[in-house]
Amino acid sequence: MIKVGIVGGTGYTGVELLRLLAQHPEAHVEVITSRSEEGMRVPDMYPNLRGHYDDLAFSVPDVGRLGACDVVFFATPHGVAHSLAGELLATGTRIIDLSADFRLRDADEWSKWYGQAHGAPDLLDQAVYGLPEVNRDAIRQARLIAVPGCYPTATQLGLIPLLEAGLADTSTLIADCKSGVSGAGRGASVGSLLGESSESMKAYTVTGHRHLPEIRQGLQLAAKGPVGLTFVPHLTPMIRGIHATLYATVKDRSVDLQNLFSERYANEPFVDVLPKGSHPETRSVRGSNMCRIAVHRPQDGDLVVVLSVIDNLVKGASGQAVQNMNIALGLEETLGLAHPALMP
């Protein structure tokens, strides 16, 4: 049984980790930390977990107890993993960080977007970007894994087949993304009230969202060169789900895109390329770790439209974190993640 620690388990990615790990046959959560909720039993905060974690209570972070785990997940705001990772890695445990702390390879770029100094630039060398469809081998060896963000996961999986094949004009990529409100987290905020965000749709941070540099970094690695990306996120009146609508101009209309995508992901357990002409719905992945993708070239023109959907809390966060754990610990990659989506 794998011993699991979770730092910062009171938010949505925390409870989602607990939900997924409750179904995982090889993992056992030993420690879960929260400064604000110290002493509270997990099921008292999350009634859906009653009967699953009845003996688990939130505790103050303790490097000794966390270090005794085989793997420690960070489900914390940015900055926290920076401050704890070094000490924790020294104990020999693995870290799977769901925050943004180790996603960007460039500490200065990180500082610019997150408005504070990077707290652990010396660890960047060993940090592995945890997108299995790109980095599986590196993940196997990794001690410090940066789980990709939700928008970056949906967008990269939708665009990298085109970029790796050198097929897209890399200067004019567009990612028009729609996210459910759980992406904004469980913090109390007026904008996320049902009374404010239900029955409405809006774009936000058109000027520049923090996921922009992360997406760009990933796309540039796939394209092996600079990439011009416009990223417009939208708040959608639903709880879970990301729908990425991706636009790229292709240089060669003769390529069979359906085939390109199908082959790229033929062996990927969590990427499902839909039949030609399909339109994936976010509900088809609700609660599951799948990414479903369809590729279109409307009116046989130059512009490719890729539709890519994930559950932002699963493949976009906690599910992908468990997938990384499975890979890093040598388990079967789909362990605990094979259940179908909840539909309707």
Cα separation values, 159 from 72, 150, 227, Å: 31, 15, 12
Closer residue to a second copy (CB): 64 or 188? 188
CA atoms of 9 and 14, how far apart (whole Å):
4
Catalytic residue set: 150
Least distance from a second copy to the Cβ atom of residue 41, Å: 11
Instruction: Give per-residue burial for 206-228: e unless 16+ CB within 10 Å, then b.
Output: eeebbbbbbbbbbbebbbeeebe
- In the complex with a second copy, which residue's Cβ is closer, 123 or 337? 337
Rounded Cα distance between 194 and 39, Å, is 30
Neighbours of 230 (CB within 10 A): 12
Q: Quick one: which H or E segment has residue 29?
A: strand 27-33
Contact by Cβ (8 Å): 294, 310: no
Q: Of 117 and 342, which CB lies nearer to a second copy in the complex structure?
A: 342
* Nearer residue to a second copy within complex by CB, 218 or 241: 241
Cα–Cα separations (whole angstroms), residue 65 to 5, 8, 77: 8, 14, 21
Residue type, 52: H
Closest CA to 155 of 225, 70, 89, 214: 214
Whose CA is closest to 12, among 311, 243, 228, 265? 311
Whole-angstrom Cα distance, residue 218 to residue 203? Answer: 23
d(CA 312, CA 256): 29
Query: Tokens 């922009």, residue?
Result: 212
Give me the least distance between CB of 182 and a second copy, in Å please: 5
Least distance between a second copy and beta carbon 208 (Å): 6
- DSSP H or E run through 178: strand 173-179
d(CA 261, CA 274): 9
Residue among 209, 99, 103, 214 at smallest CA distance from 154: 214
Least spacing, CB of residue 51 vs a second copy, in Å: 7
d(CA 314, CA 157): 15
Minimum CB separation of residue 286 from a second copy in Å reads 7
Shortest approach of a second copy to residue 250 CB, angstroms? 13
Cβ proximity to a second copy, 14 vs 61, nearer residue:
14
Smallest separation (angstroms) from a second copy to the CB of 152: 17
Tokens representing residue 303 in the block: 């512009």
Q: Which is nearer to a second copy, 59 or 192 (CB)?
A: 192
Residue 225 or 340: the one with the smaller Cβ distance to a second copy is 340
